[in-house]
Amino acid sequence: MKKLGFGIIGCGWIGTLKHIRIYSRMAETEVVALCDIDRSKAEAAARQAGLTDARLYVDYREMLQDPKVDVVVVAVPNALHADIAVAASAAGKHVLCEKPMATRATDARRMIDAAKTAGKKLTVGFQWRWRPEAMYIRQLCERGELGDIYFAKAHGLRRRGVPTWGSYMDPDKNGGGILWDGAPHSLDLTLWAMDNHKPKSVYANVHDLMRDKPEGNPWGIWRTEDFRVEDSGFALVTMENGATVSIEAAWLINIAEGQDMKTTLCGTKAGVDMFADNGGVRLNLVVTSPPYASQRKYDPATDFKPIAPEAYVNWFRDVSDTVKAHLADDGSFFLNIKEHADGGQRSLYVKELVIAHVKMWGWLFIDEFCWRNTANGVPGGWKNRFKNAWEPIFHFGKTGQIKCLPDQVAHASAAAFDYDPAVNNNVAQVDKGKDEKYSPEKHKGRLKQGVARPSNVIETRAETNGNGHSAPYPVALPEFFVKAFTALGDTVYDPFLGSGTTMVAAHKHGRIGYGCELSPKYCDMIVGRMRKLFPDLPITLAGTTGTFEEIAEVRGMPIAHEAVKSSVKLPSGAARVGALFGSKPEVLQPL
């Protein structure tokens, strides 16, 4: 089957990190052309995605004459959408236009008319419709299970989430602010689920009262004079059938927790409230050690190929985005990875990954932990370096107000020292390094019996028996983060579960554990390990309709431990990627 040839117009962050990355990986599509008025951006995008055969253009009109281009992606500033889309349709191309469709209704109609005249497809990038929970809500509405929907709310409130790059703050290029950025997604979700696009009247108001308050924005600060669009907008829409739709949207607003990219529907029979952000389970803690770049052979059953160092940051973006979408505002994300050495020097991809989390993906870099392997003896030798005896663990958060419970990892000490400035003002000076440095002699009078908190150096031995896994976690490592950054009943997740150590730590301390693992061999290993350690624990293997015995038989993996046997049946389609485990009987559902 011939692949669809995609031509991307606009090689900014959306064109590069979203469209190019996706279409260059799909079996049915290929990126054949890139266009940007800045040729260096097109060259960089092609290089980053490995598109050695893609043709590069600086004039979109020339690209539209390329016979290999079947579909044109319009990923340029909003004010330019209409003219490019109309020209692409006239050139016989299908068009996928980033939202918003246009900055004026007359331009949107021109785009529709051009596509109809050419007999080509035109669609707008409302990708949030295809989230599992969004499709599930749409099905509920289509089956009439909500009854007559008389009230709906399109949620688009961010506590702090102002995009400071590109043309977002330029009304001439962007059209406006939040009402042209996030709000269209929330409104589209709502109207699409209701299958109601006929408004009768609109009462609305917009504000720019927060434009001079850049403090705390995870995507950087801005100059007040550059912020020339609305920062919030609110509307009450009455539909022709009498239904009421409320729209709430803000880039920054003083609320406890944001509610963005979601909808609430109220009907005469039932109502439905979508999870905020990306739906599903709200995570309190994510701890993981992802695959290394260009190292180790992986289970061939997964079809996973090692990622080259130069492509690693681009590959990891999906993982980071998914974690961020599900992580609670006070949650923590711990990433354990250390770069390899090659040709006498260390690779830089881990450093680039950390910087990307902050500079490109909007995370806060909270702290860095050191895991020191206390195993005796360090065998081996190299010409210009020593063998690894420690690994970094990077701590990211969505906000600076993370849940932190240091007393849960504290220990009794006869030399405890109170660092609370409210208790000891002198200590505040010591802690800031302004006055004096701590020493047992100087501060002997302030030492007391109490609890001492650990440092950010975690000392524990590496696992010697990984049950067949090449690089198993020591249980003590995720156990430290589970205890220090979650409370009883909180949810812990590991997107690269490996031998299941994070699950062990979560259940051991009364947390709800979820994990994802692509390898069938490791999935079976994890089930056996958890059953052996916790014989009465109900473990669910999502994404199948069979029991563990049936799955094991199909895979040719004998069940050695009697406790592994289970008669629990699981709903199909519950896991979207790999296998999902929970230390509660429930699996992740669309809602």
- Return the structure tokens found at 126: 């409302």
Class of domain 283-406+458-582: alpha beta
- The 10s digit of each residue's pLDDT in 210-233 is 999 998 887 888 999 999 999 999
pLDDT tens by residue, 108-164: 999 999 999 999 999 999 998 887 778 888 988 998 989 999 999 999 999 889 999
Superfamily in which the 129-273 domain is placed by CATH: Dihydrodipicolinate Reductase; domain 2 (3.30.360.10)
pLDDT of residue 428: 38
Distances (CA, A) of 481 to 194, 372, 454, 517, 581: 43, 15, 12, 21, 19
Q: What is the CATH number of domain 4-125?
A: 3.40.50.720
Q: Which pLDDT score is estimated for 577?
A: 25
How much is the average pLDDT of 46-57? Answer: 93
Enumerate the CATH 3.40.50.150 domain ranges in the chain, comma separated: 283-406+458-582
Q: How many CA atoms are closer than 13 Å to the CA of 274, on its beta-carbon side? A: 31
Q: Exposed, middle or buried by CB within 10 Å (0-12, 13-18, 19+), for 195?
A: exposed
Residue 66 has pLDDT above 90, yes or no: yes
The pLDDT mean for the chain works out to 82
Which part of the chain has CATH 3.30.360.10? 129-273
> pLDDT tier at 435 (50, 70, 90 boundaries)?
very low
Q: What is the pLDDT of residues 453-467, one digit of tens each?
A: 788 898 887 765 545
pLDDT score, position 292: 85
Cβ atoms 185, 238 nearer than 8 A: no
Q: Tokens in use for 228?
A: 């020339």
pTM: 0.55
The CA-based dihedral angle spanning residues 523, 528, 533, 534, taken in that order and rounded to the nearest 10 degrees: 80
| Number of other CB atoms surrounding residue 515 within 10 Å | 25
Q: Which stretches of 146-195 are assigned E, i.e. beta strand?
A: 149-157
Look at residues 418, 372, 421 and name the one whose alpha carbon lies nearest to residue 393: 372
Are the beta carbons of 274 and 591 closer than 8 angstroms?
A: yes
Rounded to an integer, the average pLDDT of 490-511 is 89
Local structure of residue 530 (DSSP, 8 states): H
Integer Cα distance of 557 and 563 in angstroms? 15
Which residue spans of the chain are classified as CATH 3.40.50.720? 4-125
Judge contact between 500 and 529, C-beta under 8 A: yes
What pLDDT, on the 0 to 100 scale, is given for residue 135? 85
